[in-house]
A and B are shown apart, each in its own frame.
Chain A
């Protein structure tokens, strides 16, 4: 799951790049960039959840 989250994150970045090329007007560009950020945030949440250690695993 942690790797899935990290793989989703570049998709968000490429979405923002696509917004630059596809939309000449500022409002739609910004909206698409925010969507890209949301995708990155989603990937980050999945990656964080995947990395949460099992409680007590590090106990000596």
Chain B
């Protein structure tokens, strides 16, 4: 079975291409945030890991995953059940065969998905900070880019069963995910959860008695600058996604960009207020988490919501994010240094549900809920299974000595800040 490719005129093609060239700024922002939220003794490994994982993810997706995603060729593997076609995966060529002859929309879609997969690979990397080995991170990036992301991308963007919910079951326009809230952020948040479950917490994080040990990020400037950088990338990403996956006309793009900024702003203000009320002073790293969570929510809502709805979605995200970060750490003993589970996973899920509430089509809410069940009910167990198998072959966690001296010295042989003694603790004795 094949799906017809949408047609882009020259103006939209040029604009979308230019927007996609700005999208890596979002990746750079997330990389800086991940690095700043980790410890100083693992900073070089964190940033090098971000670059490496993104590179491996792009290579694996471009060479292999592209076939399952069905980007270049519209052919797909379809199962017929209950009288309806269910598109399960793409059946395109591997090694980018036929790319030059592919229509312009397919080429832009490939570029978009390469950026998306680079972002996806970095999300769990932040959660595994200070204990996840680089080699295991690379293998994880290959799994995400070669199997999980392509399948999800096909279901959502390539004419798969989630995209066809509208045509087959009269559920609105099918599952809507214009800028990767599901296929990038929720998938990344769920892989972060699976990773944290399998690798376990950092040593000393949860002592036998009392509260968990605070391990604050080592550089708030990296984190907050990363937030600003991410905004630029997100503005471009959301607008490009709206053109590519919703066929949005040019005139709607300024509102999409405005919605992106409003969602992030409302989320930041809400997080700042919550932390101010709870702790007496605003918390910089939680505020950064709130801002980023707002951007993640906007990935789902910016192209379908009104400005007021965007503010509402952002405010809910901003209130829930710091509370959820606290809940995960204090009540559930989940050690997630970058907060990716709450920031990417939960904020993305909320964005998808909110998009279903805001979209005018009948049945859209049910379509969005079906997408959420596919992510939680199918993807999370699958990620966990693949990660557990991978952990048997290539241990995720660094040995205790490596964790004690820091990932920089252990894995790279040198630190990020060689001329400074950051603080005296057991590592330096």
**Cβ of B169 and Cβ of A20 under 8 Å apart?**
yes
Picked from B81, B334, B384, the residue with its CB within 8 Å of the CB of A6 is B384
Which listed residue, A21, A26, A55, touches B207 by the CB 8 Å rule?
A55
Contact with B along A1-43 (1 / 0, CB 8 A): 0100011011111101100110000100110011011001001
Bitwise interface map of B from 316 to 333 toward A, beta carbon under 8 Å scored 1, else 0 = 000000000000000011
A26-B165 Cα distance, complex, nearest whole Å: 13
Provide the bound-state CA to CA distance between A53 and B49, in Å: 27
B365: A residues at CB distance < 8 A: 30
Q: State whether B400 touches A20 (Cβ < 8 A).
A: no
Give the interface size class of chain B: 35 or more
Per a CB cutoff under 8 Å, which of B203, B209, B332 touches A58? B203
> Whole-angstrom distance between the alpha carbons of A48 and B369 in the complex?
22
CB distance from B278 to the nearest CB of A (A): 23
Q: How far is the CB of A9 from chain B (nearest CB, A)?
A: 5
Q: Are B207 and A34 in contact (CB under 8 A)?
A: no
Give B5 Cβ to nearest chain A Cβ, in Å. 26
Question: A26 with B380: in contact, given A20-B169, A59-B207, A60-B204 (CB under 8 Å)?
Answer: no
Of B334, B366, B374, chain A has the most CB atoms within 10 Å of the CB of B366
B205 on interface, CB distance cutoff 8 Å: yes
Stretch at the interface among B38-46, B93-101, B194-202: B194-202
* Contact present for B369 and A37 (CB under 8 Å): yes
Q: B252 near A: Cβ within 8 Å?
A: no
B218 in the interface, Cβ–Cβ < 8 Å?
no
Residues of chain B within 8 A of A7, CB atoms compared: 381
Decide: B369 and A26 in contact? CB cutoff 8 A: no
A-B contact count (CB 8 A): 97
In whole angstroms, how far apart are the Cα atoms of A58 and B206 in the complex?
7
Report A-chain residues with C-beta under 8 Å of the C-beta of B370.
16-17, 20, 33
Contact B204–A36 (Cβ < 8 Å): no
Return chain B residues, CB-CB under 8 Å to A52. Answer: 332-333
B377's contact among A9, A29, A30, by CB below 8 Å, is which? A9
A residues near B206, Cβ cutoff 8 Å = 53, 55-59
A32 to chain B, nearest CB (A): 10
In the complex, what residues of A have CB within 8 A of residue B165's CB? 20
Residue on A nearest B131 in the bound complex, by CB? A58
Q: Known contacts being A6-B381, A9-B381, A33-B369, is A26 close to B362, with CB within 8 Å?
A: yes
Contact B82 A21 (CB under 8 A): yes
A44 within 8 A of B: yes
Are the C-beta atoms of A6 and B380 separated by less than 8 Å?
yes
Contact A33 B373, CB 8 Å, known A6-B384, A52-B332, A55-B333: yes
Measured between alpha carbons, how far is A48 from B365 in the docked complex, in Å?
Answer: 27
> Within 8 Å of chain A (Cβ to Cβ): is B104?
no
With a cutoff of 8 Å between Cβ atoms, the chain B residues found around residue A21 in the complex are 81-82, 84
Given A55-B207, A58-B203, A59-B203, A13-B384 contact (CB < 8 Å): no
The contact string, 1 if C-beta is below 8 Å from chain A, for chain B 79-117, is 001101000000000000000000000000000000000
Q: List 13 A-B contacts (CB under 8 A).
A: A6-B380, A9-B378, A10-B378, A13-B378, A16-B373, A26-B366, A47-B197, A53-B333, A55-B209, A56-B207, A56-B209, A59-B204, A59-B208
B-to-A contact residues, CB < 8 Å: 81-82, 84, 165, 169, 197, 200-209, 332-334, 362-363, 365-366, 369-370, 372-374, 376-378, 380-381, 384-385, 400, 404, 426
Extra pairs beyond A6-B381, A33-B370 (19, CB < 8 Å)? A7-B381, A9-B376, A9-B378, A9-B380, A10-B381, A20-B370, A33-B369, A34-B369, A36-B373, A37-B369, A55-B206, A55-B207, A55-B209, A55-B333, A56-B206, A58-B204, A58-B205, A58-B206, A60-B204
